Amino acid sequence: MTQAEIVPLPLAPGPLTGEDFPRTSARDIALADLPNVVATPAQIRPLSDRTLGQHDEQLTVPTYDRSALTPAVVHFSVGGFHRAHQLLYFDEVAERRISDAWGVVGVGLHSRDMKDALAPQDHLYTVVERSPDGERARVVGVMVDYHFAPDDPATVLDVLTDARTRMVSLTITGNGYRLCPQTGAFDPDDVDVRWDLANTARPRTVFGYIVEALDRRRRAGLPPFTVVSCDNMHRNGDAARAAVVGFARLRDEVLARWIADRVAFPSSMVDRITPHTTPEQRAAVAQRYGVDDNWPVITEPFSQWVIEDSFCNGRPPLDLVGVRFVPDVARYELMKTRLLNASHCALGYLGSLAGYASIDEVMADPVFAAYVEQMMDAEVTPLLPPPDGIDLDEYKQSLLRRFANPAIADQLYRLCRRGSTKMPHHLLPSLREALDTEGPHALLTLAVAAWFRYLRGVDMAGRPVPVDDPKSDLLQELARAGGTDPRPLLGERSIFGDLGENPRFVTELADALERLERDGVRQTLAAAVRGSGRLRP
């Protein structure tokens, strides 16, 4: 990309805000006062502790003493979302001088790319929040260290065993919990689990590390740490408990009982759209802000974090920077997964089949916008118990605005990844409940049909679409074999359970597949939503 191709976004007249997101710090640069310039190569400086003072005119930078931070949190699987979400809340705690006891140590298990990117810049990185009106950027400094576990498992275990570590958080995706979809029990036959049982000092899995560290803490008379899952799963705290206790039981029943009795596993709901950072975006950040950041994060202004108020070794003061501590996260989780995540799935597959590349393009099409609004209003919302303090109508309107944000332009291929994990957690539960209660479900059924059609690997015009799924070989074979007959795919009970045994649903899904094939995506959607009055003829 040449310098001429990078066009900075227009500046917003004031700070960007999002529900429950930390209030702007007094140190934040007023966007109206920030000159709209493009840095020359000579003006672009690397990011590090030493150069922070050179960036404070263009970026919001930490003003707290990073060396005074206590490494109290260990996070497994540091990706873009964690750096745009949880770390930013902890950074705000440090910036407001609320506490210096909640520095974060990152741990990677499968790739050293993040370590290679962050270590040369003293684990600093840039978060750029973009809205249709403009953007603002800040450097986050609350990560105090990062370890790639396969390189030095002893150090990771030492950090986890350190008495200062009070919380361990996870963004490892649903597949990382190794739980049986039917029973919810931990899978003892996984090859890496068997390795961890035989090599306790050199684990390969996150649960090998957590259980070994908890055992060492127990033997040393130290209190356990709290384990907080931040993955998009139903009752993610229960999933983390099942995995940790299940693994521990394979080692030692006494240890397993100690963990079950002493360790807290609060469920949480997290929400912030954070696409993967592209090389072009990295170049744009460098030229816009004069900062050479190996891996900046691009995200939206909105951010939300709700955590069950259950901690066993001190609770971080996150409630003072916008996090909600509640007795039960279930209703908030259902709201988010069944409205936001399910809509992402539906729009991802339908939009991809129609030839769109990003969700803002999809939302600019009134047929798709009417479809997703009607699906949320008529088919999903009636099944949701309203969470305390949340207006569901306002939340849904905020989702429509967020989806349509052209400054984020979330790519559909990202939304379509890991459908065999996302659909059973996000969309199929609403469909199953609607079938059980005889509620409306035609639009949810269309989303399932779109996924089945997408799994053939080509859109409606015959162009290839990427099928990125841990079960891609099996699912694509079944989708191609079935054509407009959904029964081969529905027979995969690990995903669909007994849905394939519902003759009414099988017929409806087959009809939806036939209509997509015969009429195309837009015409099929238009016919489905025109009766609602939300789509003009």
Q: What is the 3-class SS of 236-281, one letter each residue? A: HHHHHHHHHHHHHHHHCHHHHHHHHHHCCCCCEEEECCCCCCCHHH
Backbone angles phi, psi at 472, to 5 degrees: -60, -45
Short-list 329, 136, 135, CA closest to 229: 329
Query: In the prediction, which pLDDT does 10 show?
Result: 28
Which alpha helices (DSSP H) does 106-204 contain, by range? 113-118, 153-161, 191-198
Query: In the prediction, which pLDDT does 530 show?
Result: 82
Q: Which CATH superfamily is domain 331-532 in?
A: N-(1-d-carboxylethyl)-l-norvaline Dehydrogenase; domain 2 (1.10.1040.10)
SS3 content of the chain, % helix, strand, coil (to 5): 50, 10, 40
In 482-491, which positions are buried (b, 16+ CB within 10 angstroms) versus exposed (e)?
bebebebbbe
What architecture does CATH give domain 31-326? 3-Layer(aba) Sandwich (3.40)
Number of DSSP helices (H) and strands (E) in the chain, helices first: 24, 13
Name the region of 235 (left: φ>0; alpha: ψ -120 to 50; beta: rest).
left
Query: In the prediction, which pLDDT does 224 show?
Result: 98
Burial-class residue 233 by CB neighbours within 10 Å (0-12, 13-18, 19+). buried
Name the region of 440 (left: φ>0; alpha: ψ -120 to 50; beta: rest).
beta
Backbone angles phi, psi at 483, to 5 degrees: 60, -120
Query: In the prediction, which pLDDT does 537 show?
Result: 41
Structural domain spans, the chain? 31-326, 331-532
* pLDDT tens-digit series, residues 522-531: 999 999 998 6
Query: In the prediction, which pLDDT does 2 show?
Result: 29
Identify the segments of the chain with pLDDT beneath 70: 1-38, 42, 531-537
| pTM, rounded to two decimals | 0.89
For 329, the token pair is 């996260």
Query: In the prediction, which pLDDT does 532 show?
Result: 56
Query: In the prediction, which pLDDT does 3 show?
Result: 28
Mean pLDDT, rounded, of the chain: 91
C-alpha 229/C-alpha 239 separation (Å) is: 8
* pLDDT tens-digit series, residues 61-82: 999 999 999 999 999 999 999 9
